[in-house]
């Protein structure tokens, strides 16, 4: 049986930390859906629109046959069910991520018991990376090229330029 895994997040924008997790998941499962959340939790206000976040991820994963980018809104487990995915992928960067991730996995499992969450440790060079930090470094003129795909770098520069005007 072919196994589909969903890797969800806000991805505002996608960084090498995210693509590293998705690519490693793609080596473990038959299909990976890179699921870009429309309605991010609580107080997150994405800088990139949903369409922009999806388009950037599509460019990043263009070379990967078994990674598909989709957007979703509402409950993750409903999206997973609709796409016949039994696995949710989450990246763990540090111990501080664990408590929240454990809660999320527990809640998802209680809502849909046949869904499993698989945690992948983030590669060491990305443990301190977040989308917020990438945006902040770009906004303040720092070099984010080591952390994001060239298309994301260009989009960040364009977004920062537009916001300055």
Residue whose CB is nearest to ligand COA in the complex, by number: 17
Minimum CB separation of residue 43 from ligand COA in Å reads: 10
- Residue 98's Cβ-side half-sphere holds a number of Cα atoms within 13 Å equal to 4
CB-nearer residue toward ligand COA: 163 or 165: 163
Q: 9 or 31: whose CB is closer to ligand COA?
A: 9
The beta strand positions in the chain, using DSSP E, are 4-9, 31-37, 67-72, 87-92, 116-121
Cβ proximity to ligand COA: between 1 and 160 the closer is 160
Question: What's the order of all strands across the beta sheet hosting 87-92?
Answer: 67-72, 31-37, 4-9, 87-92, 116-121
Is 13:49 a contact under the CB 8 Å cutoff?
Answer: no
Q: Which residues bind ligand COA (CB under 6 A)?
A: 8-10, 12, 15, 17-18, 21, 37, 40-41, 44, 75-76, 91, 93, 104, 107-108, 122, 126, 129-132
Residue 2 or 29 with smaller CB distance to ligand COA: 29
Output the smallest distance, CB 11 to ligand COA, in A.
Answer: 6
Contact 40, 68 (CB under 8 A): no
Both tokens of residue 65?
Answer: 């046959």
Nearest to 101 by CA among 85, 89, 114: 89
105 CB-contact burial (10 Å; exposed 0-12 / middle 13-18 / buried 19+): middle
In the complex, what is the shortest distance from the CB of residue 1 to ligand COA, in angstroms, rounded to a whole number? 25
Active-site positions read 18, 44, 93, 131
């Amino acid at each position: 049986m072919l196994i589909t895994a969903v890797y969800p997040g806000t991805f505002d924008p996608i960084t090498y930390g995210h693509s590293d997790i998705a690519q490693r998941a793609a080596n473990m499962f038959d299909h990976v859906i890179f699921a870009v959340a429309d309605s991010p939790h609580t107080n997150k206000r994405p800088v990139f629109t949903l369409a922009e976040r999806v388009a950037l991820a599509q460019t990043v994963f263009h070379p990967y046959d078994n990674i598909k980018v989709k957007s979703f809104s509402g409950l993750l487990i409903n999206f997973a069910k609709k796409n016949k995915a039994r696995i949710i992928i989450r990246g763990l960067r540090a111990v501080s991520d664990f408590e929240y991730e454990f809660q999320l996995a527990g809640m998802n499992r209680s809502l849909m018991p046949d869904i499993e969450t698989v945690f992948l440790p983030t590669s060491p060079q990305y443990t301190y990376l977040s989308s917020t930090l990438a945006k902040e470094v770009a906004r303040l003129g720092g070099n984010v090229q080591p952390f994001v795909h060239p298309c994301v770098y260009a989009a960040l520069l364009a977004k920062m330029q537009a916001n300055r005007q």
